[in-house]
């Protein structure tokens, strides 16, 4: 029996992901997993529809169709787990128990729904805007409300318990509307260590708030329940009921609080909730106030996201040539498989609650999207960003049109979704983008699915398919080393190290004409090399052809000025996006998240540069020598860096030599090399390299371009230039181990980044979204 995940460009990491996350029982290969999944999803199909299951199996085998992770893990297993990735909570009533004459569930029953949903493998989002704010009167008991945050803490604690009892991490989204009196506390809650750490949080921002920001107007924070102390700013009316204004503040001040907090802490995200509802196909029969944990599915109470993805990395003919083109026939065939596949999942998957199942079957919402966009653009020789907008829109349009056509065909075969209203559905704004003949078909025959399209995080399923670029994001890195825990006991962990290579890079670097010494072409670009405007351009182009929403992180440089960062949110709103999630590396946030409050002192990882443990020198070290001609004194200096290779594959500087014929500087260079080598042998000496870069010479600096550099840069001293070279040498070796990311809650390395709206570690595989 072979225990491998075979397939196009399979890597050892793909086998590990399959074995640890998606393999069931004694499945001997990923092909057996595919057969099990298809058998489960197509279990209700008749014998006459057998060809549909065979087409789905062929699409999986070809790696053209990527079911969501919950489908891979649950379909055909007989386990009591849901195949639906995520849900939104029922309306949380402003009472501890459920009021039978009101929609939704009381606080404790809603908490129970969230727990049961996560126990079965689904993430969940909650709108906490229905709960009365801090300081509000509680009439029944004559007490004063403690506000939203303490109740969110209850959900947070539940998530820890559920996560500790199962193999999948809990994933939650907490949403609060911009008008709620507790919104200030909500925005800043996660700036405190270990508060709501199991939540993603987003503010639901309205159009009138954005208008108030632009106009410099004030903004009212209010609620339908009065303050216990009676100190209201005003009492107005909303929806025929009294509206008590708790606080009035400049809208721009509140907007700045959101963006300033996100600038430092990467949260909260923003949902443009009025746009979400205005553009929703089903706005005639539902109101949306929350999203799933990663934000790509705005959902009504009890709503579900049934996810699957077309693999765009497979959809290019003659890649990396001037004949490169999208294989439109193959793309449309994968879409047709995907729509039928996801429609079947609604009828075959278990649901955590009857209300969730009823909501799903009434509207038959599916979330068909794609992964591998970054790899498709590379193969088409198109740079990710503004240059890619026409192609991104063309691909999105083709997928949308084929998905809607397939759903109409399904309506003819199986009937329309029960909540379909011919007249009101025809007014959906998204339909105005579709071809006239398709709109006519919908009018004549109806449609099977109320909402069809989304762009979700694809995470480990993208790795399973050959480490294709995830979702709508660009490639994160061309190759890196990933340590994962393969076995854990009460006293120790066993790790396995994998060399991981991006799918697009693999194809590019193995072309017959590839010259490894030549500079990378402009279209071969990774996420952290792109500008903010590139991320926004692709996000807006992708959103234009999605009827739900997308999960996309706008990566911002650490040194980005706040005013430019603030503008990102205004640009996202003006570009028509339904939400905005950003990531800017921040030492403030890192300091907050680096150590758990209850962590024993001996578990805290010390600064490697401060440890007393000294690495032993192997007999042979590999290294390189760099010639430096310093124009200030006209001398030549030869900098030699020898590297130590750790067991996990990391290469770090071990010893450093600087030789020169200059008698004047000999003593200084000897002292410098001894100090640097001693620090390197005790751990990470990057902090010393960075300090050297700050040294200024009274003789002045110089503009220096070394042989390995594309362009020169100013060095304020010879010492600073040496520091720069050493730091640059260390960065590729450290790659994704201790770079600029957030501390990972699992492996503790600074290798966690916001990708697709979710904190994801590229070292150990931790994902906050499950």
Dist. CA 56–CA 59, nearest whole Å: 5
C-alpha pair distances (Å), 596 with each of 547, 591, 603: 40, 11, 10
Q: In sequence order, what are the beta bridge partners of 241?
A: 238
312-335, pLDDT tens digit by residue? 999 999 999 999 999 999 999 999
Q: Residue 406 in 3-state DSSP?
A: helix
Q: In sequence order, what are the beta bridge partners of 235?
A: 244
Dist. CA 519–CA 511, nearest whole Å: 15
pLDDT higher for 172 or 676? 172
* The pLDDT of residue 368 is above 70: yes
> How buried is 412 (Cβ within 10 angstroms: 0-12 exposed, 13-18 middle, 19+ buried)?
middle
Share of the chain above pLDDT 70, in %: 86
Dist. CA 338–CA 2, nearest whole Å: 29
Q: In sequence order, what are the beta bridge partners of 660?
A: 637
Spatial CA neighbour of 577 closest among 547, 607, 549: 549
Strands (DSSP E) found in 598-724:
622-630, 635-645, 651-660, 702-704, 713-715
Q: Are 109 and 98 in contact (CB under 8 A)?
A: yes
Q: In sequence order, what are the beta bridge partners of 242?
A: 237
Q: Are 339 and 449 in contact (CB under 8 A)?
A: yes
Q: Are 627 and 635 in contact (CB under 8 A)?
A: no
> For 21, which DSSP code?
I
pLDDT higher for 687 or 658? 658
CB-hemisphere CA count at 13 Å for 663? 0
Task: Report the range of poorest mean pLDDT among 263-272, 601-610, 677-686.
Answer: 601-610
pLDDT at residue 125 in the model: 97
3-state secondary structure 460-485: HHHHHCCCCCCCCCCCCCCEEEEEEE
Segment (H or E) for 631 = none
pLDDT at residue 608 in the model: 38
* The pLDDT of residue 704 is above 50: yes
pLDDT higher for 676 or 204? 204
pLDDT higher for 146 or 708? 146
pLDDT higher for 10 or 351? 351
pLDDT at residue 126 in the model: 98
Q: Residue 672 in 3-state DSSP?
A: helix
Bridge-based pairing of strands 199-205 and 172-177 is parallel
> How many other β-carbons are positioned within 10 Å of the β-carbon of residue 157?
12
Q: Are 594 and 193 in contact (CB under 8 A)?
A: no
203-232, pLDDT tens digit by residue? 999 999 999 999 999 999 999 999 999 999
Residue 168 pLDDT level (bands cut at 50, 70, 90): low
Bridge-based pairing of strands 199-205 and 218-223 is unpaired
Segment (H or E) for 644 = strand 635-645
Dist. CA 560–CA 556, nearest whole Å: 7
pLDDT at residue 487 in the model: 64
Dist. CA 546–CA 307, nearest whole Å: 14
Distance of CA 482 to the CA centre of its chain: 18
Dist. CA 540–CA 576, nearest whole Å: 7
Q: In sequence order, what are the beta bridge partners of 291?
A: 298
pLDDT at residue 708 in the model: 57
Spatial CA neighbour of 721 closest among 649, 642, 627: 627
pLDDT at residue 593 in the model: 25
Q: Are 450 and 304 in contact (CB under 8 A)?
A: no
pLDDT higher for 748 or 686? 686
Spatial CA neighbour of 465 closest among 61, 738, 154: 61
Dist. CA 292–CA 289, nearest whole Å: 11
569-585, pLDDT tens digit by residue? 999 999 999 999 998 88
| DSSP assignment of 172-213 | EEEEEETTSTTHHHHHHGGGSTTSSTTEEEEEEE-HHHHHHH
Burial of 740-750, coded b for 16+ CB within 10 Å and e otherwise, reads bbbbbbbbbbb
12-66, pLDDT tens digit by residue? 889 889 998 999 999 999 999 999 999 999 999 998 888 999 999 999 999 999 9
712-759, pLDDT tens digit by residue? 667 888 888 898 888 888 765 444 334 566 777 666 666 777 776 677
Task: Report the range of poorest mean pLDDT among 327-336, 423-432, 617-626.
Answer: 617-626
Residue 171: asked if its preceding bond is cis (omega within 30°), the reply is: no
* The pLDDT of residue 505 is above 50: yes
Those residues with Cβ within 8 angstroms of residue 713's Cβ, 6 or more apart along the chain or in another chain? 703, 704, 705, 724
pLDDT higher for 436 or 514? 436
Q: Are 339 and 452 in contact (CB under 8 A)?
A: yes
């Amino acid at each position: 029996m072979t225990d491998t995940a075979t397939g196009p460009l399979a890597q050892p990491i793909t086998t590990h992901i399959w074995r640890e996350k998606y393999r069931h029982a004694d499945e001997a290969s990923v092909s057996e997993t595919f057969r099990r999944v298809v058998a489960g999803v197509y279990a209700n199909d008749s014998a006459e529809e057998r060809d549909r299951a065979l087409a789905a199996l062929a699409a999986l085998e070809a790696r053209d169709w990527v079911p969501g992770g919950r489908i891979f893990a649950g379909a055909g297993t007989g386990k009591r787990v849901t195949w639906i990735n995520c849900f939104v909570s029922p309306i949380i009533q402003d009472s501890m128990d459920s009021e039978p004459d009101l929609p939704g569930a009381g606080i404790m029953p809603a908490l129970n729904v969230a727990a049961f949903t996560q126990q079965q493998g689904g993430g969940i989002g909650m709108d906490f805007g229905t709960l009365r704010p801090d300081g509000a009167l509680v009439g029944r008991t004559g007490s004063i409300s403690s506000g939203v945050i303490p109740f969110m803490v209850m959900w947070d604690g539940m998530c820890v318990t559920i996560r500790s009892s199962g193999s999948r991490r809990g994933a939650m989204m907490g949403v609060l509307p911009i008008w709620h009196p507790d919104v200030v506390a909500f925005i800043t809650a996660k700036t405190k260590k270990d508060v709501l750490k199991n939540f993603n949080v987003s503010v639901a921002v309205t159009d009138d708030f954005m208008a108030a920001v632009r106009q410099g107007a004030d903004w009212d924070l209010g609620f339908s329940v009065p303050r216990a102390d009676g100190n209201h700013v005003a009492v107005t009316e909303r929806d025929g009921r009294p509206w008590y204004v708790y606080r009035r503040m400049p809208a721009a001040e509140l907007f700045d609080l959101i963006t300033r907090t996100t600038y430092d802490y990467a949260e909260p995200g923003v949902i443009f909730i009025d746009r979400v509802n205005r553009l929703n196909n089903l706005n005639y029969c539902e109101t949306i106030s929350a999203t799933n944990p990663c934000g790509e599915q705005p959902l009504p109470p009890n709503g579900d996201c049934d996810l699957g993805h077309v693999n765009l990395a497979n959809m290019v003919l003659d890649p990396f040539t001037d004949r490169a083109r999208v294989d439109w026939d193959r793309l449309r065939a994968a879409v047709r498989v995907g729509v039928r596949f996801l429609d079947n999942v609604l009828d075959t998957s278990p649901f955590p609650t009857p209300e969730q199942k009823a909501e799903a079957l009434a509207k038959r919402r599916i979330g068909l999207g794609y992964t591998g966009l970054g790899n498709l653009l590379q193969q088409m020789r198109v740079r990710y960003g503004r240059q890619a907008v026409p192609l991104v829109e063309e691909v999105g349009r083709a997928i949308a049109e084929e998905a809607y056509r397939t759903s109409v065909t399904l309506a003819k075969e199986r009937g329309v979704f029960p909540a379909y209203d011919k007249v009101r559905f025809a007014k959906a704004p998204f339909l105005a983008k579709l071809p006239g003949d398709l709109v006519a078909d919908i009018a004549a025959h109806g449609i099977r699915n109320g909402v069809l399209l989304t762009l979700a995080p694809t995470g480990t399923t993208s790795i399973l398919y050959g480490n294709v670029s995830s979702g709508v994001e660009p490639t994160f890195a061309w190759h890196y080393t990933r340590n994962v825990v393969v076995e854990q006991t009460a006293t120790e962990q066993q790790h396995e190290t994998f060399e991981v290579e991006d799918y697009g890079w693999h194809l590019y670097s193995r072309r017959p004409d590839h010259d490894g010494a030549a500079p990378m072409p402009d279209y071969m670009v990774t996420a952290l090399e792109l500008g903010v405007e590139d991320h926004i351009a692709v996000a807006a182009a992708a959103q234009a052809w999605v009827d739900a929403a997308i999960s996309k992180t706008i990566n911002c440089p650490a040194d980005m000025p706040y005013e430019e960062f603030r503008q990102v949110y205004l640009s996202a709103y003006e570009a028509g996006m339904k939400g905005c999630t950003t990531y800017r590396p921040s030492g403030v946030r890192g300091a907050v998240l680096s150590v758990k409050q209850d962590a024993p002192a001996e578990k805290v990882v010390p600064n490697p540069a401060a440890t007393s443990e000294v690495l032993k020198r192997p007999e042979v070290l590999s290294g390189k020598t760099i010639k430096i001609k310093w124009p200030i004194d006209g001398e030549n200096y030869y900098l030699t860096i020898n590297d130590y290779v750790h067991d996990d594959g990391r290469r770090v500087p071990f010893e450093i030599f600087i030789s020169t014929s200059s008698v004047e500087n000999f003593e200084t260079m000897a002292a410098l090399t001894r100090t640097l080598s001693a620090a390197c042998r005790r751990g990470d000496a990057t902090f010393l390299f960075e300090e050297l870069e700050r040294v200024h010479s009274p003789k002045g600096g110089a503009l220096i371009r070394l042989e390995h550099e594309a362009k020169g840069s100013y060095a304020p001293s010879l010492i600073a230039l040496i520091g720069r070279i050493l730091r640059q040498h260390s960065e590729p070796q450290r790659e994704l181990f201790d770079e600029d990311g957030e501390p990972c809650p699992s492996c503790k390395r600074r290798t966690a980044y916001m990708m697709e709206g979710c904190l994801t570690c590229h070292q150990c595989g931790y994902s906050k979204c499950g």
